[in-house]
Structure 1
Amino acid sequence: MKLTIGYARVSTTEQFYSQSLDRQIDILKEHGVDKIFRDVESGANSDRAEFQQLIKLIQQGEVRTLKAVAWDRLMRDPSMGFFVKNLLREYDVQLFLLNQGEVDLSTAAGELSADMQILLGAYERKTIIERINRVHKRRRKDQIAWQVFPFGYRIINNKYELDTTPCVCPIEGRPANYRELSFEDEPDNSLKLLSWSKARISREMVESFLELRKGSKVLQRMHARFGSSIIKKSKPAVGLKSKPVIGLAIFGTISGLKRWLRNPVLQGHTCYQKYPRKGKYPDISEWNVIPNTHPGQALITSEEYQEIEEIISSSFGKLGKPERTYYLTGKVVCQKCGGSCDLKRSGQYSYYACGHSRTYCDSREHVRLERIEEAIIYRISTRANEIYLGNTAPTEDSAELAKIAEIKKKIQDIENLSWSKVDRDLNNIKRDLYRVLETEMNKPRNVSQEIIRHPQAQNINFWYTLTKTEREIFYGKLVDRILIVDGKVVAIDLSV
């Protein structure tokens, strides 16, 4: 039985200003649909995840009717609009737009109506872009705060203002009966439940960074103070009491903390042109900064900012640069949290440690690079010995190698014969064998299988004689993953 499906879409900007996606879904449910697809994407983007699922469902012949609030909810790109129109007509899918009714694509009038709406949607998109650009230009001219504000702030009367509204209860200093209070009839803004504001938390992070001078230690302190479950009143469902929920997320990464500390808004300035263009964040030096638009609401003084910049440029976040990588980087994984491990150096020693050990992972002990290499060599030589002793069944690759060896032997046998006019046909046979050999040699083969089957692979001393470049080549083919935890290598996963 074919389905009646609905589609709802809003752009990210539309979703920011309203709840129109929920309204579209409610209307579609009222008009009776079997399944609803939804996206929060630009209508000009044809690669929307659920929109592509809808297209596949139509192409599978499982759709009877497609419903949407309006044509521009389906798409705003003319080429994609004409494609969908032809697709609906090809698979005999009825189109029902709630703002106008059924669109009969089998008639000239229905097709003309669809074409006009496709072109109108493209026109509306261009006018929206022009209108947004004019609004942005006016906001810059009038020094109006940008719509998105950094943590610790809110926007009042188009100006940045520190958010001093109590919002969370810290672990340290919370009342002993906080769990009981969260179920009582306390108002949402009760100081028995909420005592710290975002502005106060923000200032605490700034002071902690100036004191500790390391982003990892700041995040550890904030995690210890607030934990992962910050108590906040939630609105109860009908017939249920309110329960404590996670009420605030600060920063989960050191790089996020760094970007926040360097935001000019925290110094009392307003900035524009700071959001991604073509998928890339512009550097702070490229931002359009309007100074001293809200000096009375600054979180950081100019002197503090200079000190923060000195800390960041001298030591903050240097690990993970290209010059601090190794050929095992990306293969070493923390067993406890599953995160990638970073290569670090201390004096003449190099070691790997969990990249999240400075924040939330408690696997803090490192593993020396020499210990990891020893474990790899032992694992490879052991595996090579297992294959040599026949504990592993021969693979299709080894059969191909045997076939090549057999062809080479036939060619050698022919070359050992004494030639004469009567043996002229042997030359043709030899030429054919060379063609077969070339074909077999050009076939893609499993290089790792060839390495592990080499007689020297069982010799543990052979691996210790390899140079760094040679190890990089061999380990790249043989080693898939290295698991470490609490200062130990617990597993080496090979590709063979």
Structure 2
Amino acid sequence: MIPKYNTAKGVDVIKCGLYARVSTDLQAEVKNGSLDTQIDLLQKYTEVKDSTSPEEEWKAVAIYREEGRSGKNVDRPEYQRMVRDIENGKINAVLCTRIDRVSRSIIDFLHFHEFLKENEAIFISLNENWDTSTPMGRFALTISLAMAELEREKTSERTKEKLQWRAEKGLRNGGQILGYDNDPDNKGVPKPNEAERELVLLIFQTYVKEKSFRATAQVVNEKGYRTKSYVSRRGNVRPGKKFNNTSIMRILQNQFFIGKIGYNGEVYEGQHEPLIPMELWDQVQAIIKTKRATGSKSRKQNLHTFLLQGLVKCGWCSSFMTPTYTNRPKKRYFYYQCTCKIHRGDKECKMKYVPAEPLEQVVVDRLIQLGEDQNRVEDLVAGATTDNSERVETLTQTQENHQRNLKSIDKKLDALVESIAGRKIGIKTIGQKIIDLEEQKSQIEQEMMDNEATLAEAKQKVVSVAHFRQKLTTFGELFNESTPEERKDLLQMHINQLIYTPDEIQLALFYSSSKADKTNSPANVNFGSGGGI
């Protein structure tokens, strides 16, 4: 039943909150794009309901524009603002164009639905024609969400089973790898690239001598070598880059070079030819193991490297938290402090100093845990792949729309030229129309040129996301061997943003915009209600 909010006229008031969401920043920035289209449809729906419901007054009292946010979780600013408005009675109806604009998770949406019922609010989705003020509407909603969730889980399970089967058969899962070329006649079994075989061997031999990822990368780069260059399936050239400690570490710990296939924590015999003898492999692994053990025991210095500098945000006021320190007898203490409190005082934000080392340690430990949790890594990679693919799809659609508009303008120009020949319209009139069309055409062509560069970058990110799995799973080993400055760089590579409150830390990783990882604030960071000292 629709909640009753009577006016002086005795008419029920339906206070509508219009919720619109797009998954990528690019969609949000497009003029008259997806966000504006959604809101326009919702406003028109509200106007129609108001004009056709004599006993109800429908008002659009709030608009929630969720720009560049995924619907896989509820950690969205506009969504949370909408929830607060429902609790405060500002709105008593939520309208959206499609159910997945509010949530892609059946669990999250069912919780939201219960929340709406508790606050006597209704939910309306235009595309599915769902109205939760009726029993049939609620039933149809639940069944449809359940079927969608089941299909997603089945697709994910089928993909994992296929990858597992390929690994057991000794077939490679993945794209290009240094030292090999993909064989179109024997997919999954790359053939050795003789020139790159020598480079892989050089990397292993150099590490035995230098005993350092960074030093090995420097030696290889000075000799003029670069990472693998190749042409993608779409015909794009992927040029080689300089080696760094991360790329060297991946090569030295990749069992593919000794004829093995690794998947989901298991190792299988591959069908491909190994490039590195076992004796050299074992020698390298022994050095890495020794370095890892000694690196974790490195002595602390009086000066502290703030590993999370530029990443930490205050969860209370959304300001950045900047590094600082205090001097005590015989010791210096390091902290992160809210910049809002520094510049505006306690009245604006009461977040206290947060000790740097315990905060940094809990973040490092969490990343190591994530890297060791194969299922979680796969979920993050799947989410990142979906988000980036959606961005590519949106950009591609924009280019196709531009192309159609150009064809339409060309047809109009041809028709005007024919009109001149047939003297059907005055020369002056036609001339002005041609000028207008040429200006439109020039503007569209410029937009296409700008969009092409953005699209190429987005496609590259879809490819790069495959490397994210390796980056996260090898994080702990690389971190332990790195210097403080290298550790800082490593964290900057993985973390997009960290939001701190005394009770919870939200960790947003690069490549994974769909969901922030959460963990409890450690006891030695959380001091009382203020979160610091």
TM-score bracket for the superposition, by shorter chain length = 0.3 to 0.5
TM-score (norm 2): 0.38
User: Which of the two has higher C-alpha Rg?
Assistant: 1
TM-score (norm 1): 0.41
Structure showing the higher helix proportion among its residues:
2
